[in-house]
Amino acid sequence: MKKAILPALILLIAAQAPAYAINDKYRKQLEQSGCTQISETQGCDIHKSKAENAKAGFTNPAMDSDVGAKQREAAKDTKSRSDK
């Protein structure tokens, strides 16, 4: 029984290696183009600029500064409520 546990443990540890969905180059292309993985499947071109993709009708609301500011404000409100 003990002989089976060690190999099983080694296999379990080896199988838990981190898996990354996208590589760094692809992530940078998405950031520069303003696309997301979903909008890319809908026609957003990762080889174009954010302005070109916005002109074609593809925008990424999560990257807009207004949305980020609203999220930060909501986080502050939530934190201040939890501190009380």
Q: Where are the domains of the chain?
A: 20-83
CA separation for the pair 49, 3 (Å, rounded): 58
The four Cα atoms 46, 51, 54, 59 give a dihedral, to 10 degrees, of 70
pLDDT for residue 63: 63
CA separation for the pair 3, 1 (Å, rounded): 5
Interval 21-50: pLDDT, tens: 688 899 899 999 999 888 888 999 999 999
Q: Enter the pTM of the model.
A: 0.48
Backbone phi, psi, residue 37, to 5°:
-65, -35
Half-sphere exposure of 11 (CA within 13 A, CB side): 5
- Across 22-26, 57-61, 66-70, the highest mean pLDDT is recorded for 22-26
